[in-house]
Structure 1
Amino acid sequence: MYMGIDLGTSGVKVIITSECGDILDSASAPVAISRPHALWSEQNPQDWWTATNNAIQTLSSRIDLRDVKAMGIAGQMHGATLLDGNDQIIRPAILWNDGRCEAQCKDIEESVSTSREITGNIMMPGFTAPKLRWVQQNEPENFARIAKVLLPKDYLRFLLSGKYISDMSDAAGTLWMDTRKRQWDTTLLAACGLTTEHMPELVEGNQISAYLDKSIAEQWGMQSIPIVGGAGDNAAGAVGVGLVHAGQAMLSLGTSGVYFVVTDGFQANPDSAVHSFCHALPQKWHLMSVLLSAASCLQWYADKIAQKPVSQLLSELNVALKNESSDLSNDSIRRSPLIFLPYLSGERTPHNDASATGSFFGLTHDTSQAHLTYAVLEGVSLAFADAVDALEASFVKNQALPEEVTLIGGGAKSRLWRQLLATVLDKKLCFREGGEVGPSLGAARLAQLAVDTEKTIDQICPQPALIEEYHPDSTFLDWYKQKRTTFKALYTATKPLNNKDKQ
């Protein structure tokens, strides 16, 4: 068997897989978030350990873990976990969704004019580097005590093994790495008052990094098994759905949204806020566009506006669509001029605009709940189209576009939304089994890759079984080309209003 641990923002999930890759069991435990000030988001790293221990203890009570051969760890990226010379936590970990350090992003890019060329990314508050610059400037006593900086999952690894180690995919998200060379960059570290001595050793995601401490192994009824490098959450999720070769792509319609494409070489488009990171496998990289609000837009609308469950809203929308005239000229919902901007938490790709806000545009006396619900689905889909274009503009000359895109995430459970996305993106989408399992499956597969040398990567990391394919509806292709023009113009027109307090 193989174990995959996923340290998420809201909790830890642990799964056990068989030699054939089937999930045998899983357990989860929650983790709380602290928001002591506006824009702040922090967690107590000790809570990560407590949740992990509780989840594995639950599994050990139900299944014999002595046959687990290796362990992989995935987790939330970008978090800053600070240890002193005695390996004690200095302050709460600053998380990926913390927005306090916008000024420090500018500081670092001014200090290192080539930072975007080195990392392949624009400096954003979510990344780790500006967080350390903020600590240096605002908590100098804490900064002076720093001996090691670890990412969240790598602090777990330290507690499991006593080793300071990170993997390439997660480390690339710190913005201290030369992403092309897959190594720490001393110039970027120096801009934050750090050296390579403060950093963990780097390994590939499928490489053995350490071994489980014997005393911990005994508590869990396990052997002192290998712990592999693992991956950041999105790279691990990609491995979990079989994205291991260049040109493969996935679209994750979760709370946030991600468009992820595997590449053989380093490629970048930082000016459009496309993320360029190392993949979890050797000599592989990936490009990633990120929407800060995707399925969460529908949840917000259901909770705060319609005050109905999401399932009921979608059911009522489907009824309304079926009751419309078959005459396309009277297709009032699908051809409504109503537009929803989905920037409820600002936006990353392609705008890199923390001040962007959401809005409905084009309301009239004829606007119904069905119109509003459909506009939310449509607005997120249009934002994805912008993100897809930004990422694919990063491709090197003559590189083919992905022929199909694997669709995963909670929002993808809606057949209506799946078809709408295929049409708005003008792409073939493949909805597959198991996409909801998440990064823990990828972590387990990376663990198996490290020790099961008899199987190929395609045998260990197959794409899940296809449920349905979705193709663009040619009837609406021209309609959405025109609507995207208005969608983009609306963001451009409202941007100065959202930023007026900064002017």
Structure 2
Amino acid sequence: MYLGIDLGTSGIKALLIDDNQHITASASAALNVSRPHSGWSEQNPAHWIDALETVLGVLKSTFPAKLAAVRGIGLSGQMHGATLLDRDGKVLRPCILWNDTRSYAEAAALDADPRFRQITGNIVFPGFTAPKLLWVKHNEPEIFTHVAKVLLPKDYLRFWLTGEYVSEMSDASGTGWLDVGNRRWSPELLTATDLDESHMPSLIEGTEISGVLKPELARRWGMSGEAVIAGGGGDNAASACGMGVVSPGHAFVSLGTSGVLFAANSAYLPRPESAVHTFCHALPDTWHQMGVILSATDALNWYAEIARSSPANLTAELGDTLKTPSGVTFLPYLSGERTPYNDAAIRGAFVGLGRESDRATLTQAVVEGVSFAFRDCLEALAAAGTRLDRVTAVGGGSRSDYWLKAIATALDLPVDVPGDGDFGGAFGAARLGLIAAEQADPWAVCTLPIIAETVEPEARLRHAFDDAYARYRALYPALRSLA
């Protein structure tokens, strides 16, 4: 058996697969985000450990024999978070998360240094880890002086599970300190933030062994033998491994809390000015490009709270037939935006409201606004040299048929929907755990799923969606002028 653990923003999930990659058990636990100030987003790492113990406790109580047979464990996790430890391995402050934008000034200062784009192949976004450390230095100097290790969220779980300070290439790509083309830390960029390699975990590939489960934890969960822990991957790279998106020409669209349009590459192809991320993949000698939007299902969840309904009920009210855009436009910049603007200060808006604008009209606008944000990502990928013929849908929002139709039509691309199964970060992590434990061929393990259906663009609405997208694009400069 092989265990995959995915540390997300809203929860942690663990699942077990057998040697035929069949999912045999899973469990999850919720997490909360603290937002003490506008633009801030934090979590207490102790809550991650509590949630992990909860899900593994559930697996032990319900599937003890399967958990006992685990040979390999893989980790997936939300990227960019700054988890700061002292020399004794104790957490110094709450983790500053990926969607925290407080360090926008520090990010701009680092991005103005040409070495960062040259070495990392990426813009320094406010959500990245490096500017967060500068913010801590400038605003919490007493904490900065005690920082001995900087870990990404999933790598803090690894430290708790194994006692080892280790990261891997895909997650490290989002720090702002990795030489992405050469797959190693950059001493030059670390020095620019008053750090050095001693502050960083060691680096391995996502398919390699990072350590073994502590004996006391193995005994607690009834696990026999030595369970090795793979390098794993950042959430998007791990999801790509779960989806089999590991070779050129393969791509997925992820409708999670944030949104991602992800394309695998066999070469390092940076173009930072496009605001596309160019990162290492979780598999050796492989890279990927992705456009990232900060509010995907998060936008619908936000609106659902205001509308006092559930996201599922709201999208169900839209019916089964894709509607012509109403003229009401939603800009989903609730936490700023990455691709294509790299704008931490921008905020969202509804535009074009009238007395006739009912709840369903606003739901439709939210769904379309997120779909148009994905089109922004598609245009940015094309500018970076990656053109897509089709995408595979993943994430909680992909359960909405209406939303899939809107995305297919907004992108003018077929959207493939996998058959029954879980192909997200936890499944990809379990695959990486299998590869590490058995020294298996990564490309033989990370295969594409069976496609249950394909959602085609609706040709009758193509021009209407193009016109609505043109309105959407025109609104950003106007909104920016008011921010």
TM bracket, shorter-chain basis? over 0.9
The 3-state SS of whatever aligns with 1:354 is: coil
Q: How does 1:26-175 map to 2 (within 5 A)?
A: 26-63=26-63, 64=65, 65-110=67-112, 112-175=113-176
Residue of structure 1 equivalent to 2:394: 408
1:3 maps to 2:30 = no
Residue of structure 2 equivalent to 1:371: 361
- Decide whether aligned partners of structure 1 residues 139 and 316 sit closer, same or farther in structure 2, where only a CA change above 3 A counts: closer
Q: Report the Cα distance in structure 2 between the residues aligned to 1:459 and 1:340, rounded to whole angstroms.
A: 42
Residue of structure 2 equivalent to 1:451: 437
Q: How does 1:3-402 map to 2 (within 5 A)?
A: 3-63=3-63, 64=65, 65-110=67-112, 112-222=113-223, 223-305=225-307, 307-318=308-319, 333-395=323-385, 401-402=387-388
The 3-state SS of whatever aligns with 1:197 is: helix
- Decide whether aligned partners of structure 1 residues 309 and 226 sit closer, same or farther in structure 2, where only a CA change above 3 A counts: closer
32-41 vs 198-207, greater mean Cα deviation: 32-41
TM-score by length of 2: 0.94
Give the counterpart letter for 1:360 in structure 2: F
Give the counterpart letter for 1:166 in structure 2: S
Whether contact under 8 Å (1:241, 1:434) holds in the other structure is: no
Q: Report the Cα distance in structure 2 between the residues aligned to 1:362 and 1:120, rounded to whole angstroms.
A: 39
Aligned-pair distance for 1:4?
Answer: 0.7
Give the counterpart letter for 1:448 in structure 2: L
Give the counterpart letter for 1:425 in structure 2: L
C-alpha root-mean-square deviation of aligned residues, in Å? 2.0
The 3-state SS of whatever aligns with 2:316 is: helix
Q: Report the Cα distance in structure 2 between the residues aligned to 1:255 and 1:356, rounded to whole angstroms.
A: 18
Aligned-pair distance for 1:85?
Answer: 1.9
Q: Report the Cα distance in structure 2 between the residues aligned to 1:308 and 1:61, rounded to whole angstroms.
A: 34
Q: How does 1:472-483 map to 2 (within 5 A)?
A: 472-483=457-468
| Cα shift readout 1:86-132 (whole Å, capped 9, x = no counterpart) | 2222222222222221111123234x322112112111221110111
| Cα shift readout 1:390-446 (whole Å, capped 9, x = no counterpart) | 122112xxx6x3332101122221222212211110111101135755211111000
| Cα shift readout 1:128-176 (whole Å, capped 9, x = no counterpart) | 1011111222222222222221111112211221211100001111110
Q: Report the Cα distance in structure 2 between the residues aligned to 1:461 and 1:477, rounded to whole angstroms.
A: 34
Whether contact under 8 Å (2:274, 2:384) holds in the other structure is: no
- Decide whether aligned partners of structure 1 residues 191 and 278 sit closer, same or farther in structure 2, where only a CA change above 3 A counts: same
- Decide whether aligned partners of structure 1 residues 370 and 79 sit closer, same or farther in structure 2, where only a CA change above 3 A counts: closer
Match of 1:428 among 406, 414, 432: 414
464-473 vs 13-22, greater mean Cα deviation: 464-473
Match of 1:485 among 467, 470, 478: 470
User: Which structure has the greater CA radius of gyration?
Assistant: 1
Q: Report the Cα distance in structure 2 between the residues aligned to 1:82 and 1:373, rounded to whole angstroms.
A: 39
Q: Report the Cα distance in structure 2 between the residues aligned to 1:38 and 1:372, rounded to whole angstroms.
A: 24
Q: Report the Cα distance in structure 1 between the residues aligned to 2:297 and 2:159, rounded to whole angstroms.
A: 34
The 3-state SS of whatever aligns with 2:416 is: strand
Aligned length: 480
Identity of aligned residues (%): 47
Give the counterpart letter for 1:372 in structure 2: L
- Decide whether aligned partners of structure 1 residues 474 and 80 sit closer, same or farther in structure 2, where only a CA change above 3 A counts: same
- Decide whether aligned partners of structure 1 residues 342 and 31 sit closer, same or farther in structure 2, where only a CA change above 3 A counts: closer
TM-score by length of 1: 0.90
Q: Report the Cα distance in structure 1 between the residues aligned to 2:105 and 2:314, rounded to whole angstroms.
A: 41
- Decide whether aligned partners of structure 1 residues 299 and 33 sit closer, same or farther in structure 2, where only a CA change above 3 A counts: closer
Give the counterpart letter for 2:466 in structure 1: K
Give the counterpart letter for 1:49 in structure 2: I
Aligned-pair distance for 1:335?
Answer: 5.0
Whether contact under 8 Å (2:73, 2:433) holds in the other structure is: yes
Give the counterpart letter for 1:229 in structure 2: G
- Decide whether aligned partners of structure 1 residues 459 and 354 sit closer, same or farther in structure 2, where only a CA change above 3 A counts: same
Structure 1 unpaired stretches of 5+: 323-332, 499-503
Q: Report the Cα distance in structure 1 between the residues aligned to 2:85 and 2:301, rounded to whole angstroms.
A: 38
Structure 2 unpaired stretches of 5+: none
